[in-house]
Amino acid sequence: MTVLVTGGAGFIGSNFVLDWFAQGTEPVVNLDKLTYAGNPANLEPLKDSPAHVFVHGDISNRELVRHLLERHMPRALVHFAAESHVDRSVHGPAEFVQTNIVGTFALLEETRLWWEKLAPSERDEFRFLHVSTDEVFGSLGPHDAPFNESTPFAPNSPYAASKAAGDHLVRAYHHTYELPTLTVNCSNNYGPYQFPEKLIPLMILNAITRKPLPVYGEGGNVRDWLYVQDHCTAIRQVLERGRIGETYNVGGHNQKTNLEVVNAICALLDEARPHSKIRHSTLISFVKDRPGHDRRYAMDFSKIAIQLGWAPSETFDSGLRKTVAWYLDNPDWVAHVTSGTYRHWIEKNYAHRGEA
């Protein structure tokens, strides 16, 4: 038995693959395009494992996808591959449309064609699990109830719109072709191996190098933070016991403003790397907000809790402490990913925003 994973060298995907082998020995075929956020170093612990087969390729390459399905006959496909950064989608939406919509379509279509040729028992056992985001639901007001699985889609960024389109395609392939699909919509993930364009790793790395900590607006945007290991556990449970054709919201039950998050990081760094006269929070700078910045996300994950018994095991405090420690303990990984290309992106996105 084999599982095919797309995007398994990225942040969530690589954590999932590493966790998969920590839980068992079932082989994984890992298909990743290795864009800027896909990092083979994330998978270094598996370099000598014959059960982990890495394939450098694009989900939009239908011939390649067809070959992998026919050769490895996976019992499940777990689809992480995506462009995922809102700011990058504002600067260049075309890549998000290509990967998140066209790529997901190519993957679904090749999977359907292959799946329809299987024996009935094999068709019944197969699952296509699509990993999505809470951003497809849009933005909440300060006192609105959290998103649930019935919340209408209202995406506000090119990224969110591209993920919503992918979600719709997955739903359509189940209802039209009876492909056995599952969808997980998660809140903001954080943890080891996250590319430092996202808030938490960006702030950690800027702070330890005494660079400004750029916070959008007044820092009041609220996110529900989910430790990546808890997300991986949820995905495994949905894959094994989720109801075919349904979606599951996964959240951390940790609503924090961006400014609260940054201050918490600074406090942990003050503890881990104290400076006698200067606290890390003095590096905080407020910059012009990004266009269409959603005000608040929050997830109601009662469905997965009731049906599958899942709940997050990490609090925000415990998960953030582990995350800060990981970045401090892995300077070689950090040095590799914060290359000239990364520095150019940070300059492009933040340098000319000015004060909020």
Write the pLDDT tens digit of every residue in 253-306: 999 999 999 999 999 999 998 876 789 999 999 999 888 889 999 999 999 999
User: What is the rounded distance in angstroms from the CA atom of residue 351 to the CA atom of residue 285?
Assistant: 12
Given the residues 87, 110, 135, 197, select the one marked as catalytic.
135
Mean pLDDT to the nearest integer, 331-356? 70
| For the chain, percent of residues with pLDDT exceeding 70 | 95
Q: Under DSSP, is residue 236 helix (H, G, I), strand (E, B) or coil?
A: helix
Output the average pLDDT for the chain: 94
Q: What is the pLDDT of residue 355?
A: 60
Asked if pLDDT for residue 322 goes beyond 70, the answer is yes
**Type and span of the H or E element at 63:** helix 62-72
Query: What does the angle CA 156 – CA 323 – CA 219 come to, to the nearest 5 degrees?
Result: 40
**284-287/213-216 β-pairing:** parallel
Angle, nearest 10°, between helix axes 158-177 and 104-115? 10
Upper half-sphere CA count for residue 249 (Cβ side, 13 Å): 22
Helix-, strand-, coil-residue percentages of the chain, each rounded to 5: 50, 15, 35
Q: What is the pLDDT of residue 342?
A: 56
Entry pTM? 0.94
Is the separation of the CB atoms in 8 and 57 below 8 Å?
no
Helices (H), 217-350: 228-241, 258-272, 302-308, 316-329, 331-337, 340-350
Is the separation of the CB atoms in 92 and 36 below 8 Å?
no
User: What is the rounded distance in angstroms from the CA atom of residue 32 to the CA atom of residue 29?
Assistant: 10
352 pLDDT band, cuts 50/70/90, is low
345 pLDDT band, cuts 50/70/90, is low
Asked if pLDDT for residue 346 goes beyond 70, the answer is no
Q: Known catalytic residue: 134?
A: yes
Asked if pLDDT for residue 109 goes beyond 70, the answer is yes
Given the residues 58, 83, 159, 327, select the one marked as catalytic.
159
In residues, how long is the chain?
A: 356
- Between the alpha carbon of residue 36 and those of residues 85, 277, 336, the distances in Å are 12, 37, 11
Given the residues 32, 134, 167, 197, select the one marked as catalytic.
134
Residue indicated by tokens 């969530």: 12
Q: Known catalytic residue: 159?
A: yes
User: What is the rounded distance in angstroms from the CA atom of residue 133 to the CA atom of residue 317?
Assistant: 22
User: What is the rounded distance in angstroms from the CA atom of residue 86 to the CA atom of residue 160?
Assistant: 8
Q: What is the pLDDT of residue 276?
A: 63
Is the separation of the CB atoms in 248 and 184 below 8 Å?
yes
User: What is the rounded distance in angstroms from the CA atom of residue 176 to the CA atom of residue 173?
Assistant: 5
User: What is the rounded distance in angstroms from the CA atom of residue 194 to the CA atom of residue 10?
Assistant: 8
Asked if pLDDT for residue 207 goes beyond 70, the answer is yes
Q: State which amino acid sits at residue 137.
A: F
